[in-house]
Structure 1
Amino acid sequence: MFKNKLTKENILSKVVGGTYELMNYYLKPYTNGDLKKGNHISNPLLEKKQKTPSFNIYDDPLGIWKYKDFATGDSGDVFDLVMKLKKCSFKEALVIINNDFALGLQIGKEKPSFEIQSYDWDRKNLDYWSEYGIYLEALTFFNVLPIKEYSRIEKKQIIKSTELDPIFAYRINFSCYKIYRPFSSKYKFLWLGYKPNNYVFGFEQLPKKGERIFITGGEKDVISLHVNGEYAVSLNSETAMPSEELINKLKSNFEEVIVLYDIDSTGITQSKKICDKFGLKRMVLPEKLKEEGGKDISDFFKFGFKLAYDEIIIENYEENKLINNGKHLSKILETQKELSKIKSKKIIQSKPILFQLGKEIIFPNTINIIQGKAGVHKSRLAETICSSLIKKEDCKRRLLQFTAGLNKNLTVCYVDTERNLTEQYPYALQQILNKAGFSKEETPRNFDYISLLEISRAQRFEALREYLELVRLKYTGHTVIVLDVVTDCIKDFNRSDNSMELIDLMNIFINQYDVTFICLIHENPGSADKARGHLGTELFNKSSTAIQIGFEMGKGNKPSDIIALKFLKKRSTKRYDPIHLIYSEEEKGLVLADANMVDKVKESRLLKAEPAELIKFINDNIEFPVNGKDLIELLSKEFECSSKIIRERLNKIIDDNVEFENRENIPYYLIKKKQGREVVYDIKS
């Protein structure tokens, strides 16, 4: 009869391992592994963690395990320890141990502190749970009961379930229930009986091993996750902190432990605390749930969302630690978030800021280059583009058929580094304004200009940066910055650090502000199409449009008066055919070249080593037979053309049976034959 009574002796008789097992259970959260006699641990009775541990356990001569607190000189058995840890009475300590070890001992002859009556489950009391997809089997599995009424004996008040205020209970054991009134604003949760120490709902229902488990904000959330195929536990409240023992147990049994709390301020704050303390992952429900009127995982499932939903975020503690301690990750990920928002919307490509006969030449918020050898009118081309961008509406100048794509709020800022300040640069500014329909006395509000000529090369980058900041504050709308020439804007265009510093500055401006860059740059001497230095290479790589300007080659591979604009790169469109220009004295600038003139120049390139010229030279200078390689080399040098052209001409003479005459006026024909491995040219009559 007395064996089931809750007493100190009955507790010790029922716990296998006796006082050591009890002591080990309550001190385990404060140490690693099992306790050993004489080993000092951090004092659990002090609020702050000790640098030098001052607490241990020992067994007395009767075999009873006790603790010793060297900080205070205090000592005692496990019952004393529980009273100090839980700040409770001896009787309460007995109840706590009884519940924690599920001993089933009865509390003396005390009358129960509460009475409770439950219903059988029916459709009516299942309605609330079914909204969340929770079915009867799940409720039974987690010991959830529909309650008819309950009362606390000492208060002499009976609380009854109604249709508008249904009552449910989570049965912890037969002497403890957690009341749940979902629609009560004041008494949503209430404990009946003695609440167990370190209460964890759902722990008993967990498997021994699993892939992942959620620590969530409440009992209903645990059940909701269960019916959706997930494992979960919850603490007594969202503000409770899990024990280290619980976390270690979950980590050892599951591959992944994730904290999933409400997305209100309390849930966000507490979930971050738990994750920071134990290094756990944190799942953040989408903002769209708030818009629907929900806040927790139960609401999430209720509104039809799934855990595979794209906008769910899983934060990793180690990742967060890296992000918070890193110098740049937070900015990178902030940009990533913005990109994610933008890419999920319909993207309408920006209209070009510059056209040429309907072709899209330059787009806003880009880096663009105009490259060419010295003296090929790079600056005049840039000036013409500037004029077209700020041109008055009534101006009739054709300006190489360039037209602006933005009709208003566009400012051009010209930065020069080469021309003198007394004549060359002022004249260029006059030309820009004149071609745009302004007089030289006018100063349009949308045209700005500076020279860096008087700034030392070492200081020019900083000077340019300051000017760009001024432009940003001074002008609204889109701004086109022309850098003429860009290599003079930095200390050394062959150094990668100087080059990348300038390009980084450009990228900041085109991404953060409404800016486009047009960069003029010289080509390397002797190079076909390579812009100068490391800066030239990087600018070409980063550019959206790369235009090469140069003289079209004519007869004898000599520069003609025709100027070719070639599109070496077009990121947003296909590469266009070249545009041909010519300098006009009348216009004091560039104009479109006549198509017939362009064709004549191109044809003149082909008028090298014409058959008649070759025949005359061969008649006068060549003795046959002759080695083919030697003949071609000689003719290539004589006529200043490639060996390919000479071969083509000789083959044509042979194929057409062109007649030669020797010094005796005897006709003969050129032939080609093989002698061993060599090709030989000879004649036949």
Structure 2
Amino acid sequence: MNSIDINDLLSETNRGLDVFKHYLGASFDGGRKPFKSPFYDDSKPSCNIYLDKNSNRYKFKDFGENERPVDCIGFIGRLRSFDLNSKISFLSLLQLINNDLALGLERKTDSEIPQQQKQSANIEAKLKFDDNQKIGNINYQNFRNQEIDYWCKYGINIEILRKYNVKSVASFNGISSSKKNYTINSNSSQPIFAYCFNDYTKLYRPFSKLRFLFIGKKETDYIFGLEQLPLKDDLLFITGGEKDVLSLSANGFNAICFNSETANIKTEILYEFSKRFNHIAMLYDCDKTGIKSMDSIVNQNKQLGLLKLLLPLSGEKNEKDISDFFNLGNSKGDLLQLFVNELNKTYINTINTLKTCEVNLNNPPKIQPSILSINESSIGSPGNIIGITGTEGSGKSNFVAAIISGCLNPMKDDIDTLGVIINDNANSQAVVMFDTEQSIVQLHKNIDSVKRRAAINDLPEWFKAYSLVALNRKERFKTIIESVDKFYYEFNGIHLIVIDGIADLISSVNDEEQSVELINKLFQMAHQYNTLIICVLHMNPSGIKLRGHLGSELQRKASGILSVEKHKDQDNSIVKAIKLREANPLTVPIIQFAWQDSIQQHEFIGFMEKGDFQSKKISKLKSFAQHKFANNSIIQSSELGDYLMEHFDIKERMARNYIKLMRDNLIIRKESSMQNAYILVNTAN
């Protein structure tokens, strides 16, 4: 067997430049730009590759060291810890470079090459000639039974071979680096297969010492299996060789491989794959080289979250790669279980957190008593947020003050909480109010009114009220979070939090991202401190819906929304439930309260009769219909439903109920000449 000649190696690698490119990878762009040393933690790029004209070889120079420049052999020797003073070690290094770059320099002597056997079924494929190509003729043949049996050991059938354009080779005629013709023939003990691409072919000889040989113009970034990948999917395996890709594909997995396990994979290539696949798993041989390469790739690309699967094999020959794994009788399910086990390691913190959120019917959660209710209907309980809304001057701040007063006096029979029932704060936990709209002077007056309504001489130390008007918006929420945390430990819990003016905690109520983030944080705070948070937010000027994206998000997440409105026909305010998660809002009575000069505060004056409320709703629907039908004498049912949902900020089911209510009260009727269309009954009323 002939040994590799160093001059042939340099000739085949552009005087060693290709060797530097292969082993340095992305850190060396092939030009004159300095790069960091691979031998130590280099803070500044101080290394370069240059052409030494005296030796006609490319050399490596580190200006941060006093060492002499070295060619590619000396560089790789140091990089891979080879003793270049030893002939055996030196020849082993040449063989390593030859294999890693698939140079194909080691050839059999003429006496070792059998004569080519002519076969009538052969098809000759001539590759295009180019100065940068190895050239030669590949004679293909149909797969022989022995060759099919070889692939079937790994679960690879003829359909998979065709899918990946794998062919059987009868012989290959080539020209060596010393310009001599040679021939390699396939036989039963030394089969040859070809991985065929557009401009080049990679020959594979599974039982030969020289197993791989590139013919043609190889791509810079060789990726086998790339064309067979779906555009998007869940899992991609990066494995060590083409046979492993075929074996994985035969078992229903997406897989690719690069030129070898020691190839430097560019981060930008992995990044592109990460956009197409949810998980990328490294699946190299479970020997020392494969494990070391996987560790290196995973560590260099931590931002991509690559997984490393270690096969439960010995690592010895015929028991180290995924093809061997399947050949030994393991199944697709066994590989998936290995993947799940590795995924569990990655998600261990998430899984542990998720266990605390799991619903267990054998261990039901403790039923929380309602903190705020109207009659027997719960409005808000610990761990939730509720919204209180209304237009300017509707009386919502006075209504909120009444709720707070109910928390301050345990003897609630003697005080007026404007129709709401407040659960006892028996453990004297903190009650905290933050106001982002009123000045400290106005808030002082309001809190004095709270004290008078609560019928107490002094405010308890566990009640805190703050005006945050002087703080900027970013500081306000930070102040709320930190002070609540302090009071939680100081008073052994939080009974109630009131934030009057949550719109002033973000830059704009129409900023969707800020709105979602704020409501999520408030919801998390309510859960963390097992308390109820009351969020006060203005209605839109129209009085129909809550303000902006913030109002929409509050309405989605809140367990209840109470609307405080000024009664049009009387000098009083009403409070009605427009959303409840723990009760039906239609069953909750409507609160009425009004200002009483004799006591200088608002007073609960009873619940509104359902008939009064229904009459008010019908009046609103009549006004709506007159406006919509003014320019459209006939409106389709679906279009009318859309108008109602937009105008009243309601869902489709409620819109259908409103249409029925308008029909029942003779506001609209069906148009007989058209299907599913309505007209106005009487525009005069």
Q: How does the TM-score come out when normalised to structure 1?
A: 0.46
Question: Normalising by structure 2, what TM-score?
Answer: 0.46
Larger radius of gyration: 1
